[in-house]
Structure 1
Amino acid sequence: MEERDERNAPEVGECSFLGRQAVGGKPAHTESKEDRGAGSESTPRLQLPMPDLQLVRLDHAPALLAFERENRAYFAAVIPDRGDEFFTEFDMRHAQLLARQAAGTDYFHLLMAEDGEVVGRVNLAEVAGGSAELGYRIAQKVAGQGLATAAVRKMRELAATEYGLTRLRARVTLDNPASRKVLEHNGFVAVGELTLNGKPAISYICELR
Protein backbone atom coordinates (compact mmCIF):
# COMPACT_ATOMS: atom_id res chain seq x y z
CA MET A 1 0.00 0.00 0.00
CA GLU A 2 1.23 3.39 -0.66
CA GLU A 3 2.49 5.63 2.04
CA ARG A 4 3.50 9.20 1.59
CA ASP A 5 6.85 9.93 -0.03
CA GLU A 6 9.19 11.36 2.59
CA ARG A 7 12.07 12.29 0.31
CA ASN A 8 10.97 15.90 -0.06
CA ALA A 9 9.95 18.50 2.49
CA PRO A 10 7.44 18.78 3.89
CA GLU A 11 7.79 15.25 5.11
CA VAL A 12 5.27 12.67 4.04
CA GLY A 13 3.72 15.02 1.63
CA GLU A 14 3.52 14.41 -2.07
CA CYS A 15 3.16 11.05 -3.73
CA SER A 16 2.00 8.12 -1.71
CA PHE A 17 4.18 5.09 -1.16
CA LEU A 18 2.86 1.58 -0.79
CA GLY A 19 3.79 -1.21 1.54
CA ARG A 20 4.02 -4.69 0.03
CA GLN A 21 2.44 -7.95 1.05
CA ALA A 22 4.23 -11.18 0.25
CA VAL A 23 2.45 -14.01 -1.52
CA GLY A 24 3.93 -17.49 -1.17
CA GLY A 25 6.97 -15.96 0.48
CA LYS A 26 7.59 -13.64 -2.47
CA PRO A 27 6.91 -9.91 -2.53
CA ALA A 28 3.84 -8.90 -4.49
CA HIS A 29 4.75 -6.24 -7.00
CA THR A 30 1.92 -3.85 -6.29
CA GLU A 31 1.10 -1.04 -3.97
CA SER A 32 -2.15 -0.96 -2.03
CA LYS A 33 -5.18 -2.67 -0.64
CA GLU A 34 -7.03 -5.71 -1.79
CA ASP A 35 -9.86 -8.27 -1.95
CA ARG A 36 -13.49 -7.26 -1.62
CA GLY A 37 -15.58 -8.17 1.31
CA ALA A 38 -14.30 -7.21 4.72
CA GLY A 39 -14.83 -10.12 7.05
CA SER A 40 -15.07 -12.65 4.24
CA GLU A 41 -13.90 -16.21 4.80
CA SER A 42 -10.89 -15.56 2.59
CA THR A 43 -9.58 -12.83 4.85
CA PRO A 44 -6.09 -13.92 6.00
CA ARG A 45 -5.54 -14.68 9.65
CA LEU A 46 -2.71 -13.02 11.52
CA GLN A 47 0.07 -15.58 11.93
CA LEU A 48 2.15 -13.74 14.52
CA PRO A 49 1.49 -11.73 17.68
CA MET A 50 -0.16 -8.42 16.80
CA PRO A 51 2.41 -5.63 17.23
CA ASP A 52 1.44 -2.57 19.23
CA LEU A 53 0.21 0.27 17.00
CA GLN A 54 1.80 3.43 18.38
CA LEU A 55 1.56 7.06 17.34
CA VAL A 56 5.02 8.24 16.29
CA ARG A 57 7.07 9.94 19.02
CA LEU A 58 10.46 11.63 19.10
CA ASP A 59 12.09 8.65 20.81
CA HIS A 60 10.94 6.31 18.02
CA ALA A 61 13.51 7.83 15.65
CA PRO A 62 16.33 5.24 16.07
CA ALA A 63 14.01 2.23 15.62
CA LEU A 64 12.23 3.86 12.68
CA LEU A 65 15.51 4.66 10.95
CA ALA A 66 16.65 1.07 11.44
CA PHE A 67 13.39 -0.16 9.88
CA GLU A 68 13.82 2.05 6.82
CA ARG A 69 17.45 1.06 6.34
CA GLU A 70 16.83 -2.66 6.74
CA ASN A 71 13.94 -2.66 4.26
CA ARG A 72 15.19 -0.08 1.79
CA ALA A 73 15.96 -2.48 -1.06
CA TYR A 74 12.79 -4.47 -0.39
CA PHE A 75 10.56 -1.40 -0.68
CA ALA A 76 12.50 0.07 -3.61
CA ALA A 77 11.74 -3.03 -5.70
CA VAL A 78 8.17 -1.78 -6.21
CA ILE A 79 8.02 1.88 -5.17
CA PRO A 80 10.36 4.85 -5.70
CA ASP A 81 13.40 4.75 -3.43
CA ARG A 82 13.58 7.51 -0.83
CA GLY A 83 17.15 8.37 -1.83
CA ASP A 84 20.28 8.79 0.28
CA GLU A 85 19.21 12.25 1.42
CA PHE A 86 16.29 10.77 3.33
CA PHE A 87 18.69 8.86 5.56
CA THR A 88 21.30 11.59 6.00
CA GLU A 89 18.62 14.09 7.00
CA PHE A 90 16.47 11.64 8.92
CA ASP A 91 16.38 13.56 12.23
CA MET A 92 15.16 16.72 10.51
CA ARG A 93 12.52 14.81 8.57
CA HIS A 94 11.37 13.01 11.70
CA ALA A 95 10.89 16.37 13.39
CA GLN A 96 8.83 17.51 10.41
CA LEU A 97 6.59 14.45 10.79
CA LEU A 98 6.01 15.29 14.44
CA ALA A 99 5.16 18.89 13.52
CA ARG A 100 2.58 17.79 10.95
CA GLN A 101 1.14 15.37 13.47
CA ALA A 102 0.88 18.08 16.12
CA ALA A 103 -0.93 20.26 13.60
CA GLY A 104 -3.48 17.49 13.03
CA THR A 105 -2.89 17.23 9.27
CA ASP A 106 -1.32 13.77 9.42
CA TYR A 107 -1.09 10.89 11.89
CA PHE A 108 1.88 8.53 11.69
CA HIS A 109 1.79 5.14 13.37
CA LEU A 110 4.36 2.41 13.92
CA LEU A 111 3.82 -1.31 14.40
CA MET A 112 6.09 -2.07 17.35
CA ALA A 113 7.14 -5.62 18.22
CA GLU A 114 7.62 -6.59 21.87
CA ASP A 115 11.38 -6.05 21.61
CA GLY A 116 10.88 -2.48 20.40
CA GLU A 117 11.59 -3.22 16.75
CA VAL A 118 9.52 -1.41 14.13
CA VAL A 119 7.93 -3.96 11.78
CA GLY A 120 5.61 -1.65 9.87
CA ARG A 121 4.17 1.82 9.35
CA VAL A 122 0.51 2.78 8.96
CA ASN A 123 -0.28 6.42 8.28
CA LEU A 124 -3.20 8.76 7.79
CA ALA A 125 -2.25 11.70 5.58
CA GLU A 126 -4.00 14.85 4.40
CA VAL A 127 -6.56 14.73 7.18
CA ALA A 128 -9.33 17.19 6.38
CA GLY A 129 -13.11 17.28 6.14
CA GLY A 130 -13.51 13.93 7.87
CA SER A 131 -11.32 12.18 5.29
CA ALA A 132 -7.70 11.00 5.07
CA GLU A 133 -5.44 8.98 2.81
CA LEU A 134 -4.25 5.64 4.17
CA GLY A 135 -0.70 4.46 3.56
CA TYR A 136 1.38 1.62 4.95
CA ARG A 137 4.51 -0.47 4.52
CA ILE A 138 5.35 -3.76 6.21
CA ALA A 139 8.83 -5.15 6.97
CA GLN A 140 10.07 -7.93 4.71
CA LYS A 141 10.67 -10.31 7.62
CA VAL A 142 6.96 -10.32 8.58
CA ALA A 143 5.39 -10.02 5.12
CA GLY A 144 2.82 -12.61 4.07
CA GLN A 145 1.62 -13.31 7.63
CA GLY A 146 -1.58 -11.28 7.59
CA LEU A 147 -0.06 -8.29 9.37
CA ALA A 148 -0.98 -5.73 6.71
CA THR A 149 -4.64 -6.80 6.77
CA ALA A 150 -4.75 -6.70 10.58
CA ALA A 151 -2.97 -3.35 10.73
CA VAL A 152 -5.33 -1.73 8.23
CA ARG A 153 -8.29 -3.12 10.17
CA LYS A 154 -6.93 -1.56 13.37
CA MET A 155 -6.32 1.74 11.61
CA ARG A 156 -9.88 1.78 10.31
CA GLU A 157 -11.08 1.53 13.91
CA LEU A 158 -8.77 4.30 15.11
CA ALA A 159 -9.69 6.55 12.18
CA ALA A 160 -13.35 6.41 13.19
CA THR A 161 -13.08 6.32 16.99
CA GLU A 162 -9.96 8.37 17.77
CA TYR A 163 -9.79 10.80 14.85
CA GLY A 164 -13.48 11.15 14.03
CA LEU A 165 -13.03 10.36 10.34
CA THR A 166 -15.83 9.16 8.09
CA ARG A 167 -13.89 8.15 4.98
CA LEU A 168 -10.47 6.76 4.06
CA ARG A 169 -8.83 6.94 0.64
CA ALA A 170 -6.08 4.74 -0.79
CA ARG A 171 -4.20 4.23 -4.05
CA VAL A 172 -2.50 1.10 -5.33
CA THR A 173 -0.85 0.05 -8.61
CA LEU A 174 -2.30 -2.75 -10.68
CA ASP A 175 0.88 -4.79 -10.34
CA ASN A 176 0.34 -5.07 -6.56
CA PRO A 177 -2.60 -7.52 -6.23
CA ALA A 178 -1.63 -8.53 -2.71
CA SER A 179 -1.91 -4.99 -1.43
CA ARG A 180 -5.19 -4.49 -3.25
CA LYS A 181 -6.54 -7.53 -1.41
CA VAL A 182 -5.53 -6.02 1.90
CA LEU A 183 -7.71 -3.04 1.12
CA GLU A 184 -10.64 -5.03 -0.16
CA HIS A 185 -10.57 -7.36 2.85
CA ASN A 186 -11.03 -4.20 4.90
CA GLY A 187 -14.03 -2.85 3.03
CA PHE A 188 -12.29 -0.55 0.55
CA VAL A 189 -14.08 -0.21 -2.78
CA ALA A 190 -12.42 0.66 -6.09
CA VAL A 191 -13.75 3.97 -7.42
CA GLY A 192 -11.45 4.96 -10.26
CA GLU A 193 -8.24 4.59 -12.23
CA LEU A 194 -5.14 6.77 -12.23
CA THR A 195 -1.40 6.73 -12.84
CA LEU A 196 0.78 6.30 -9.75
CA ASN A 197 4.58 6.48 -9.93
CA GLY A 198 4.26 6.05 -13.68
CA LYS A 199 2.15 2.89 -13.40
CA PRO A 200 -1.57 2.16 -13.90
CA ALA A 201 -3.28 2.24 -10.53
CA ILE A 202 -6.64 2.12 -8.79
CA SER A 203 -8.08 4.54 -6.25
CA TYR A 204 -10.10 3.16 -3.35
CA ILE A 205 -12.52 4.57 -0.80
CA CYS A 206 -13.70 3.11 2.50
CA GLU A 207 -16.75 4.63 4.19
CA LEU A 208 -16.35 4.37 7.97
CA ARG A 209 -19.95 5.27 8.88
Structure 2
Amino acid sequence: MPDLQRLHPDHVPALLAFEQENRTFFAASVPDRGDDYFTNFDARLAALLAEQAAGICHFHVLVDDQGVILGRFNLVDAANGSAELGYRVAEKATGRGLATATVRRLCTLAAEEYGLTTLRAATTHDNPASQTVLTRAGFVPTGEELLLSGRPGLGYARSTADQVSFDDGTA
Protein backbone atom coordinates (compact mmCIF):
# COMPACT_ATOMS: atom_id res chain seq x y z
CA MET A 1 0.00 0.00 0.00
CA PRO A 2 1.42 3.42 -0.93
CA ASP A 3 2.52 5.64 1.94
CA LEU A 4 1.61 9.33 2.32
CA GLN A 5 4.75 11.14 3.46
CA ARG A 6 5.47 14.74 4.33
CA LEU A 7 7.72 16.21 1.66
CA HIS A 8 11.40 16.36 2.63
CA PRO A 9 14.68 16.99 0.77
CA ASP A 10 15.29 13.26 0.21
CA HIS A 11 12.28 13.24 -2.13
CA VAL A 12 13.89 15.65 -4.63
CA PRO A 13 15.15 13.13 -7.25
CA ALA A 14 11.95 11.05 -7.19
CA LEU A 15 9.77 14.17 -7.26
CA LEU A 16 11.57 15.60 -10.26
CA ALA A 17 11.24 12.24 -12.05
CA PHE A 18 7.51 12.18 -11.21
CA GLU A 19 6.98 15.66 -12.66
CA GLN A 20 9.02 14.98 -15.79
CA GLU A 21 7.47 11.57 -16.52
CA ASN A 22 3.92 12.91 -16.14
CA ARG A 23 4.30 16.37 -17.67
CA THR A 24 2.33 15.64 -20.84
CA PHE A 25 -0.34 13.70 -18.92
CA PHE A 26 -0.81 16.55 -16.43
CA ALA A 27 -0.93 19.20 -19.16
CA ALA A 28 -4.04 17.51 -20.58
CA SER A 29 -6.06 18.42 -17.47
CA VAL A 30 -4.15 21.14 -15.58
CA PRO A 31 -2.00 24.04 -16.77
CA ASP A 32 1.55 23.06 -17.68
CA ARG A 33 4.22 24.22 -15.21
CA GLY A 34 6.48 25.44 -18.04
CA ASP A 35 10.15 24.82 -18.78
CA ASP A 36 11.33 27.24 -16.08
CA TYR A 37 9.79 24.99 -13.42
CA PHE A 38 12.11 22.15 -14.40
CA THR A 39 15.15 24.35 -15.00
CA ASN A 40 14.91 25.81 -11.49
CA PHE A 41 13.42 22.76 -9.77
CA ASP A 42 15.92 22.58 -6.88
CA ALA A 43 15.50 26.24 -5.98
CA ARG A 44 11.72 26.02 -6.19
CA LEU A 45 11.65 22.96 -3.97
CA ALA A 46 13.91 24.66 -1.42
CA ALA A 47 11.45 27.58 -1.33
CA LEU A 48 8.52 25.19 -0.84
CA LEU A 49 10.29 23.42 2.00
CA ALA A 50 10.91 26.81 3.64
CA GLU A 51 7.18 27.60 3.39
CA GLN A 52 6.42 24.22 4.92
CA ALA A 53 8.86 24.85 7.79
CA ALA A 54 7.08 28.15 8.42
CA GLY A 55 3.69 26.38 8.57
CA ILE A 56 2.33 28.24 5.55
CA CYS A 57 1.96 25.05 3.51
CA HIS A 58 1.96 21.30 4.06
CA PHE A 59 3.35 19.29 1.15
CA HIS A 60 3.03 15.51 0.81
CA VAL A 61 3.98 12.79 -1.62
CA LEU A 62 2.40 9.38 -2.10
CA VAL A 63 5.23 6.87 -2.36
CA ASP A 64 5.13 3.20 -3.36
CA ASP A 65 7.25 0.50 -1.71
CA GLN A 66 10.03 1.10 -4.27
CA GLY A 67 10.29 4.81 -3.43
CA VAL A 68 8.52 5.89 -6.63
CA ILE A 69 6.28 8.91 -6.19
CA LEU A 70 2.74 8.22 -7.34
CA GLY A 71 1.24 11.58 -6.43
CA ARG A 72 1.54 14.97 -4.79
CA PHE A 73 -1.01 16.14 -2.24
CA ASN A 74 -0.63 19.66 -0.89
CA LEU A 75 -2.32 22.02 1.52
CA VAL A 76 -1.28 25.56 0.64
CA ASP A 77 -1.92 29.02 2.06
CA ALA A 78 -2.77 27.63 5.48
CA ALA A 79 -4.13 30.45 7.64
CA ASN A 80 -6.99 31.00 10.06
CA GLY A 81 -7.88 27.29 10.09
CA SER A 82 -8.23 27.03 6.33
CA ALA A 83 -6.08 25.85 3.41
CA GLU A 84 -6.30 25.12 -0.31
CA LEU A 85 -6.01 21.47 -1.38
CA GLY A 86 -4.13 20.61 -4.55
CA TYR A 87 -3.11 17.23 -5.90
CA ARG A 88 -1.86 15.38 -8.94
CA VAL A 89 -1.48 11.66 -9.49
CA ALA A 90 0.83 9.86 -11.91
CA GLU A 91 -0.83 8.52 -15.03
CA LYS A 92 0.16 4.95 -14.12
CA ALA A 93 -1.58 5.30 -10.73
CA THR A 94 -4.95 6.60 -11.94
CA GLY A 95 -8.19 4.65 -11.84
CA ARG A 96 -7.33 2.72 -8.67
CA GLY A 97 -8.94 4.96 -6.06
CA LEU A 98 -5.57 6.22 -4.80
CA ALA A 99 -6.43 9.90 -5.25
CA THR A 100 -9.71 9.58 -3.38
CA ALA A 101 -8.20 7.55 -0.54
CA THR A 102 -5.26 9.92 -0.22
CA VAL A 103 -7.40 13.07 -0.26
CA ARG A 104 -9.48 11.51 2.52
CA ARG A 105 -6.31 10.76 4.50
CA LEU A 106 -5.09 14.31 3.95
CA CYS A 107 -8.40 15.68 5.25
CA THR A 108 -7.81 13.73 8.46
CA LEU A 109 -4.22 15.00 8.69
CA ALA A 110 -5.42 18.54 8.06
CA ALA A 111 -7.63 18.37 11.13
CA GLU A 112 -5.53 16.24 13.46
CA GLU A 113 -1.99 17.38 12.66
CA TYR A 114 -2.36 20.87 11.24
CA GLY A 115 -5.43 22.17 13.08
CA LEU A 116 -7.28 23.07 9.89
CA THR A 117 -11.07 23.22 9.94
CA THR A 118 -11.89 24.09 6.33
CA LEU A 119 -10.34 22.96 3.08
CA ARG A 120 -10.94 24.53 -0.31
CA ALA A 121 -10.21 23.09 -3.74
CA ALA A 122 -10.88 23.93 -7.36
CA THR A 123 -10.96 22.06 -10.62
CA THR A 124 -11.78 22.84 -14.19
CA HIS A 125 -15.14 21.92 -15.65
CA ASP A 126 -13.42 19.57 -18.10
CA ASN A 127 -11.77 17.46 -15.38
CA PRO A 128 -14.48 15.00 -14.27
CA ALA A 129 -11.93 12.71 -12.58
CA SER A 130 -10.92 15.46 -10.17
CA GLN A 131 -14.55 16.42 -9.59
CA THR A 132 -15.27 12.80 -8.65
CA VAL A 133 -12.30 12.63 -6.26
CA LEU A 134 -13.41 15.79 -4.50
CA THR A 135 -17.06 14.78 -4.11
CA ARG A 136 -16.16 11.28 -2.93
CA ALA A 137 -13.88 12.85 -0.34
CA GLY A 138 -16.69 14.99 1.02
CA PHE A 139 -16.09 18.27 -0.81
CA VAL A 140 -19.13 20.14 -2.10
CA PRO A 141 -19.30 22.68 -4.91
CA THR A 142 -19.39 26.23 -3.57
CA GLY A 143 -21.03 27.64 -6.68
CA GLU A 144 -18.01 29.89 -7.17
CA GLU A 145 -17.09 29.98 -10.85
CA LEU A 146 -13.35 30.38 -11.33
CA LEU A 147 -10.82 30.80 -14.09
CA LEU A 148 -7.90 28.40 -13.64
CA SER A 149 -5.14 29.53 -15.99
CA GLY A 150 -7.81 30.75 -18.39
CA ARG A 151 -9.96 27.63 -18.12
CA PRO A 152 -13.40 27.75 -16.49
CA GLY A 153 -13.68 25.88 -13.23
CA LEU A 154 -15.58 25.51 -10.00
CA GLY A 155 -14.64 25.93 -6.35
CA TYR A 156 -15.23 23.24 -3.72
CA ALA A 157 -15.04 23.24 0.09
CA ARG A 158 -15.13 20.79 2.97
CA SER A 159 -15.18 21.10 6.72
CA THR A 160 -12.64 18.74 8.27
CA ALA A 161 -15.19 18.09 11.05
CA ASP A 162 -17.69 16.61 8.59
CA GLN A 163 -18.25 12.90 8.90
CA VAL A 164 -18.39 11.58 5.36
CA SER A 165 -19.90 8.22 4.49
CA PHE A 166 -17.43 6.29 2.37
CA ASP A 167 -19.62 3.46 1.15
CA ASP A 168 -19.09 4.27 -2.52
CA GLY A 169 -16.77 1.33 -3.09
CA THR A 170 -13.58 3.31 -3.43
CA ALA A 171 -10.46 2.60 -1.42
TM superposition score normalised by structure 2: 0.91
What residue number does 1:196 align with?
148
Q: CA deviation at 1:59?
A: 1.1
Q: CA deviation at 1:88?
A: 1.5
SS, match of residue 156 in structure 2: strand
What residue number does 2:106 align with?
155
- Distance in 2 between the 1:128 and 1:138 partners? 26
Matches within 5 A, 1:87-102: 87-102=38-53
Gaps of at least 5 residues in structure 2 are 162-171
Moved over 6 A (4+): none
Give the residue type in structure 1 aligned to 2:53: A
Gaps of at least 5 residues in structure 1 are 1-48
SS, match of residue 108 in structure 2: helix
Matches within 5 A, 1:38-57: 49=1, 51-57=2-8
The structure where helix makes up a greater share of residues is 2
The partner residue of 1:74 within 22, 25, 31 is 25
Q: CA RMSD in A?
A: 0.8
- Distance in 1 between the 2:151 and 2:33 partners? 18
Structure number with higher relative contact order (C-alpha < 8 Å, ≥ 6 residues apart): 1
Q: Deviations over 1:154-206 (max 9, x none)?
A: 00010000001100000011111111111111111111222222122110110
Q: CA deviation at 1:83?
A: 1.3
SS, match of residue 126 in structure 2: coil
- Distance in 1 between the 2:32 and 2:153 partners? 18
Give the residue type in structure 1 aligned to 2:147: T
Q: CA deviation at 1:53?
A: 0.6
Aligned length: 160
